[in-house]
Amino acid sequence: MLPALSQICSLHAPLEKDVEDYAAGHVEAIELWLGKVEGWLKDRTPSDLKELLATHGIAAPVASFQGGLLISQGDARREHWNHFEKRLALLAELGVGTLVVAGDIHGPLDQAALDRINVSLAQAAQKAQAAGVRLALEFQATATLGNNLQTAVALVEQIGSPNLGLCFDVFHYYAGPSKEEDLGLLTPDNLFHVQLCDVVAVPREMASDGDRVLPGDGDFRLEPIVQRLRDIGYTGAVSVESMNPQLWQIPPRQFGEIAITALRKVLGLADMGT
């Protein structure tokens, strides 16, 4: 497993400071936050970003996130898909292997909508394969369809593309109706990315992204998840992902040191030198 930090954990810091300070805090990999990356690239080139990462010894195996692909229609759909294709080209140029795709399926569904979801997933996987990028579908606890791990696995299996897998976000796993036995559905073939956090003293029905704290600091039972990752021999990235405004106030250097230490402890890597 490759411990990593998502750039959204330091949302308000400049991208250069993320990279420089995370590296100084012994972070070896980051999950790129595409909104921040695209803003930074307005005055720079992808080669500049590759050089920045290389200079500080930071890997960027995954980027988040692409929304709006699955259920949108009309002009909104064209805009989302055009953006998606540009992002695939960018990630291919940067050498980023995985893009997280939001399972943002909301509102009433009819058969036409269900068909659109399946067609969208298949088309997205085809475009990603052509670009040499994998797509990690993130199930979302508030979604109308795909709000749990079991359904997300079924959606991915139905497409049957080697370039379409899962993003396992522990927040959505616990905030939604997923069950612990669903962890048995995770395999080396379908699991492309993992995002960990924790929540303390908040009922799962009321938990929001702003309640996310560092893994190991809250009430989530992370041990069964980590054990499943070990059981299937998962070797991909595991990122800390938090949208907590209080954590955004912590300087990236300090946050990076604290967060990567917490993550390595949860993953059982703290004393293994790996």
If one counts every other C-beta atom within 10 angstroms of the C-beta of residue 19, the result is: 23
Confidence of residue 266 (pLDDT cuts 50, 70, 90): very high
Give phi and psi for 259, each to the nearest 5: -70, -45
All structural domains of the chain with their residue ranges: 2-267
What one-letter code names the amino acid at 81? W
pLDDT score, position 91? 98
* HSE-up of residue 125 (Cα within 13 Å, Cβ side): 20
Residues 6+ apart with CB under 8 A from 233: 188
**Taking 50 as the threshold, does the pLDDT of residue 44 lie above it?**
yes
- Over residues 145-169, the pLDDT tens digits come to 999 999 999 999 999 999 999 999 9
- pLDDT band at 272; cut points 50, 70, 90: very low
Q: Which CATH superfamily is domain 2-267 in?
A: Divalent-metal-dependent TIM barrel enzymes (3.20.20.150)
Would you state the pLDDT for residue 271?
54
Ranges of beta strands (E only) in the chain are 2-6, 29-33, 59-66, 98-102, 134-138, 164-169, 191-196, 237-240
Q: Record the pTM.
A: 0.95
Instruction: Work out the average pLDDT over 239-262.
Output: 94
The mean pLDDT of the chain is 95
Average of pLDDT values for 214-220? 94
For residues 44-54, average pLDDT: 97
- For 91-143, the pLDDT digits (tens) are 999 999 999 999 999 989 999 999 999 999 999 999 999 999 999 999 999 99
pLDDT of residue 273 exceeding 50, the answer is: no
Q: How confident is the model at residue 229, as a pLDDT?
A: 97
| Closest C-alpha to 90, from 137, 32, 143 | 32
